[in-house]
Amino acid sequence: MTSDLSHSLDSFFKWIYSLISLVVIGFLFLLLSDPSSAEPSVPLAQDKSKETLLLVWAHPFGQHVKISDCWETFAISGCKVTDNRSLYSQADAVLIHHQYVASRIGYLPLEPRPPGQKWIWLNTESPTNAKRLWKYEGIYNLTVSYREDSDVFLPYGYLIPVTQLDKLPQGRFAFTFKGRTSPSDLLRPRFVAWGVSHWDESLARIAYYKLLKDHIQIDLFGKVGKKIPKGRQSLLKVINQYQFYLAFENSQHTDYITEKLWNAVESGAIPVVLGPSRENYERFLPSEAFIHVDDFPTAQDLAQYLLTAKDNPSLIEKHLRWRKNYKICRPWWGRDYYCMACLAAKRNKGKIDVVKNLNEWFYS
């Protein structure tokens, strides 16, 4: 599954970790926008002689988004992104969102596939919710997902040290945290919140919530709790009032760390996480930036810690002191996903690699 890009990413990852003692997920963009960082598939002059055209087969989740100019956004030359299906025969690559083609209304391109055209698999859901992967074996050439070993690695969010902002092309899209970056902003009026839209009694997060709520008050929001207006900003305003936020994933898989965590981080609530291992989370955040349910032998022990910490400024500060040194980035479809996929296609011109064992890899 690992391309030349991911080999370069691995080397850079080791370097940046030793430099700042934290994975800076934004290194992906630094590599992709720097021609010297990854060996192109064909000589660079030849690669630049023809513009690479990426066709977005369907915008993710049926929501049309504005397509960014990759040169203006990331200084990526020779990349053009379109959603005009009439250009299918001219496209160098087609970006295909898995949830679309796996749905009842979605379908793959029906016209014959032009020679050399790359199909790029895009997915942001967990393996549990990525249905019928087995149907698409052997048709893709590149992968785009939150998995670190994807050809294009795009997590739901990542941190950039303030000292690195001017050195990373995506630094201008980073934004400051909403509060809790100074000692005077440590305590908040409300205790623990959880926003949940999908309630399924068979999920581990529901079972853990039931254990936890026996010992502390948890304010629920969403379909099974207090209703709030739609949209991320409405949820962020709610989270901004709380000391802690339950960032419980709907399934537990490698690198599957979603907006649930990053909403808490952005809003200044200390995330209490249930998902992959603590070690997995620590590739994205400082170790003290979150509380993992596995840190405690029982839900009652976790509840006792939260009760102790909520009115203890020193404990709260321990979980928040890192914030003054970072800004946050959250990838956006029309900007990050499309431009990075186009650049990956450009860098892999001349290669005929096929993604093998898609289902087995993604479930690993």
Residues noted as catalytic: 125
CA distances from 248 to 82, 112, 124, 235, 327 (A): 36, 43, 16, 15, 23
Which residue spans within the chain are E strands per DSSP?
52-56, 79-82, 93-97, 118-122, 142-145, 152-153, 158-161, 190-196, 219-222, 242-248, 270-274, 291-292, 326-329
Tokens of 255: 């690198």
Rg (alpha carbons) of the chain, rounded to whole number: 21
DSSP characters over 50-108 = S-EEEEESS-GGG---PPPPHHHHH---SEEEE--GGGGGG-SEEEEEHHHHTSSS---
Cα gap 343→80, rounded to integer Å: 9
Which residue spans within 123-200 are E strands per DSSP?
142-145, 152-153, 158-161, 190-196
Contact 250, 128 (CB under 8 A): yes
Tokens of 134: 């087995």
Query: How many CA atoms within 13 Å lie on the side-chain side of 77?
Result: 8
Residue where the block lists tokens 């599954």? 1
